[in-house]
Amino acid sequence: MTKKTLKALLLTASILLSHSHILSQTDSEPNRYDIIISEIMAKPAPEIGLPGVEYLELHSRLPHPCTLRNWRLTLGNTSKKLPDITLDSCGYAVLIAQKYSEDFAPYCDHIFTLSSLALTDGGQRLTLYNQHDEVIHYVSYSRSWHTEPIKQEGGWSLEMINESLPCAGSENWNSSASPLGGTPGQPNSIRNTLNSNSMPFITGVTLTDSTTLRVHFSKTLSADVLENHSVFNIKPTLNILSINEVPPEFASLDIKFETAVQPNTDYTLLLSGTLTDCGGNSYPMDERIPFGRDYPPSSFDLIINEILTNPIDNENADYVEIYNRSNHIIDLKEVKVGYGGDTLPQKAVVAISKGCQLMPKTYVALCKQKSATLQQYVCKDEKRLVECDSLPDFAIGKGTIHLTDRSLQPIDRFCYTEEMHYPNLMTTKGVSLERLYADMPTQDENNWRSAAESAGFGTPGYENSQSGNALEYNEFEIAPEVFSPDDDGYEDYAEVLCSFNEEENRVNITIYDSRGFPVKHLANNVLCGTTARFRWDGLDDRNQSAPAGMYVVQIESWNLRIRKTIRKRKVVSIYRL
C-alpha cells in the first residue's frame, strides 16, 4: 500500500468517525433542564412592536443539535402534542398557534405551530415532557413577574434572566427590555449572570398517607438529595425507606417510612447537613420541623385573625391570617377560604392545595402576592407567609370572609366593614384589621381593631399588634385604668370587663367627663351572657377625640330576675404625642 493510499484511508476514517460522533450527539436524549422554556408572551396586546400573538420560546442548552420527537407541553390542565422539532446547538424554537404563522414569520425564524395556544394572562403552569413522559422543564409564571406595573398591562414578554438557573422561579424572570416587547427566537434581552444563592428552607409539611411525609422547600433541590438519607432524621425515630422527588416542580420530597405515623404523637423532622439546589449551590442546613397526624377541622378550631382588603398601590397584596386555636394539627389542604354569601361563600378555594400542617396555637397568612406583602410589611417568619394567588378578591369597604372545610361546613365567618377601623386614621389603605381575642366571637365588632402604626399597620403571620390579654375579672373592671388612644399599639383602648352569675343580662354603659357631662354612650340596652367586654377607644359620641383627663364610667345592668344595679368606675385617658 502506497503512502498516498494510506493517507486517503486515514482521512476517510477520520471523516466517518466525525460524522458518527455528530450523529451520536444529535440522537442523544436531552436530560432535565437541557431544553427549557425561556420566554413567555402571555398577553401580547396592546402591541408594542411584535404582532399581537401569544408565543412560547424553547431554548436548547446543549452544545450540539437535537431533535424532539413525541414531546408534549401542558398548559394548566391542557396537554398539547408538539410537532417534531430540531434544535441547533444552543438554538431556539418558537411555538405559536397555526393561524398566526404568516403574521409572525417576518419577525422570527424557527417557528413551530400548534393547533392553538391559550396562555392565561394572569399566570399558568407550563410543563415540558419528553417522549417518556419525564418532566424536562416546569415554569409556573405569574403576571406579577413583570416588576414594572405598566408592562403587566400587556405587550411585553417574560424572559428568563440566567439560563443556567432554569429552576430558580420568579427571581429569574422579568419583562423583556426589547423595544419590540420581546425577543422570540433570539437571545433574551435581559440575559445576565444572576446568582440564586438564597438559602433554601422548608415551607411546610403534609402527610400524603400514614407512612409518607411530603416536605415542601422554598426552592428546587438537586437530585443528589435522593441518595443522602443521613441529612434527614425523625424524632421519635421513624426509619426512612426512601426519598423521592415530586414532579413537576421538584421543590418537594416524599420521605417514606418503614412504619406508620402514630396518632397523638409529636414528631420532629431534623434536617442537618448539606443540601444542593438545582443551580449547584450548596448550603449547610439546620432545621427542626414539627409534624404529626392531622385531624379534620371543626367549627371555631380555626379563626380569621387578621385581614387586609385595601392594600397600598397593589391590588394583589390582600391577605387573610388564620390562627389554629385548637389543640390538634390541622392540614390546610382540608380548609377552604371563601368570600361573599351569607351561609355559604359565593367563591371558595383550598387554602393551601399542596398541603401544609398548621400546628396548634400557630398562625399562617395567605396572601395573593408574597413579594408585595414582604415589601410592605414586616414578616417575622417568612415561612408563615404562603402565596395563594387564587385567593378571592376581597371588597375594600364591606364584605364577608369564610373559613370552611372541603365540604363547605363552616369553621369561621367574618363580616367586616371599613367602620371597624380606628376612626381617626387619615386613610385605611394599607391598614389591616386585627382580632383582639381568639376566644371572643368573631362577629363582635369590639373584637377588632386597626393594626398599630408602630407595627407597620400589619402583622401577617405572627401575633397581632392589637391582641388583647386574657384577664380575670369580677363583676366590673376597667383595664387598663390609664390608656393612651394614639394607635401606637400600646394601651390604645380601655376595656370595660363584665362578669355575671346568670345569662340574659342587659347592660348600659355611659362615660362622663370630670364635670359630669356624658361624652360617650358605650352600650345601650345590650344583651350579654355571663361575660362581656366593651372597648372605649377615647372617642366621644361624635367620633371626636375626647381630651386628656379623668373620666367616670357608669355601668347599669339588670335581668328579668334581678333589679337594676349601678356601678361606677374611674378611668383616666392620657394622650401621648
Same domain, 482 and 439: no
What residues have CB less than 8 Å from 17, skipping those under 6 apart?
none
Same domain, 338 and 455: yes
In a domain, 428, yes or no: yes
Which of 427, 445, 467 corresponds to the end of one domain? 467
What residues have CB less than 8 Å from 106, skipping those under 6 apart?
none
Same domain, 58 and 145: yes
In a domain, 142, yes or no: yes
In a domain, 195, yes or no: no
E runs forming strands in 436-513: 448-450, 476-479, 482-483, 494-499, 505-512
Q: Compute the Cα dihedral for 229, 235, 241, 243 and give only its sign.
A: negative
Residue 129 near residue 80 (C-beta atoms within 8 A): no
Same domain, 42 and 163: yes
Same domain, 574 and 532: yes
In a domain, 29, yes or no: no
Considering the chain, what percentage of its residues have pLDDT values greater than 90? Answer: 58
Cell (9 digits) for 446: 369590639
Which of 267, 291, 315 corresponds to the end of one domain? 291
The Cα 389–Cα 183 span in angstroms is: 28
We report the CATH number of the domain holding residue 569 as 2.60.40.4070
In a domain, 344, yes or no: yes
Residue 337 near residue 352 (C-beta atoms within 8 A): no
Same domain, 40 and 155: yes
pLDDT score at 456: 87
pLDDT score at 26: 46
Same domain, 273 and 422: no
pLDDT at 38 over 50: yes
We report the CATH number of the domain holding residue 146 as 2.60.40.1260
E runs forming strands in 418-563: 433-435, 448-450, 476-479, 482-483, 494-499, 505-512, 518-528, 531-536, 549-558
Q: Categorize the per-residue pLDDT at 21 as very low, low, confident or very high, splitting at 50, 70 and 90.
A: very low
Same domain, 315 and 451: yes
Same domain, 359 and 259: no
Structural domain count, the chain? 4
Same domain, 74 and 156: yes
We report the CATH number of the domain holding residue 260 as 2.60.40.1220
Same domain, 560 and 480: yes
Residue 416 C-alpha from the chain's centroid = 22
pLDDT score at 562: 61
Range of the domain at 148: 35-175
| Lowest-pLDDT choice from 328-332, 395-399, 434-438, 488-492 | 488-492
The Cα 164–Cα 277 span in angstroms is: 12
Same domain, 487 and 460: no
pLDDT at 577 over 70: no
Cell (9 digits) for 533: 367586654
Which whole number is the average pLDDT over 500-519?
84
* pTM (predicted TM-score): 0.78
